[in-house]
């Protein structure tokens, strides 16, 4: 089952917590490239942990962060209506609480 997406498309809900969704305005090519970079960076994090290479781990984590910024999942919000960012907050403690409660 995929994670539910808030009605405005801004967040995915995973274990009751809001996670900012990727910017839907990204072109297919830009999204594909960013997702590929993210997966490469996550594999690099795994490898650096396995080899206990602190410098490689730091580089890999920066690469993950850069890819997530490109996707719009971190950094400035991608919506333009001035609504606040509820990233990483529990859905029940946000304006999405009633919508989230209705999912059960």
Q: What is the domain partition of the chain in residue ranges?
A: 1-21+76-104, 26-72
Q: For the residues 55-62, what does the mean pLDDT come to?
A: 98
Q: With bands split at pLDDT 50, 70 and 90, how would you rate the model's confidence at 35? A: very high
Q: For the residues 62-85, what does the mean pLDDT come to?
A: 97
pLDDT of 88 reads 96
Residues forming beta bridges with residue 19, ordered by sequence position: 12
pLDDT of 2 reads 85
pLDDT of 96 over the 70 cut: yes
- How far from 79 is each of 11, 12, 21, 76, 96, CA to CA, in Å? 12, 15, 11, 9, 16
pLDDT of 1 reads 63
- Percentage of residues in the chain having pLDDT higher than 70: 99
Single out the residue of 99, 59, 104 nearest to residue 10, CA to CA: 99
pLDDT of 17 over the 70 cut: yes
pLDDT of 44 reads 98
Contacts of 104 (CB under 8 A, 6+ apart): none
Please give the radius of gyration of the chain, using alpha carbons only, rounded to the nearest integer: 16
Q: With bands split at pLDDT 50, 70 and 90, how would you rate the model's confidence at 104? A: confident
Residue 92 DSSP code:
G
Query: Whole-angstrom Cα distance, residue 74 to residue 57?
Result: 19
Q: For the residues 36-64, what does the mean pLDDT come to?
A: 98
Mean pLDDT of the chain: 96
């Amino acid at each position: 089952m995929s994670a539910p997406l808030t009605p405005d498309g801004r967040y995915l809900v995973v274990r009751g917590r809001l996670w900012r969704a990727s910017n839907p305005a990204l072109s297919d090519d830009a999204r594909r490239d960013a997702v590929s970079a993210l997966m490469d960076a996550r594999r690099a994090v795994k490898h650096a942990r396995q080899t206990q290479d602190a410098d490689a781990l730091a580089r890999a984590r920066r690469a993950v962060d850069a890819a997530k910024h490109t996707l719009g999942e971190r950094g400035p919000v991608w919506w333009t209506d001035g609504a606040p960012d509820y990233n990483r907050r529990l859905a029940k403690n946000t304006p999405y609480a009633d919508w989230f409660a209705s999912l059960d």
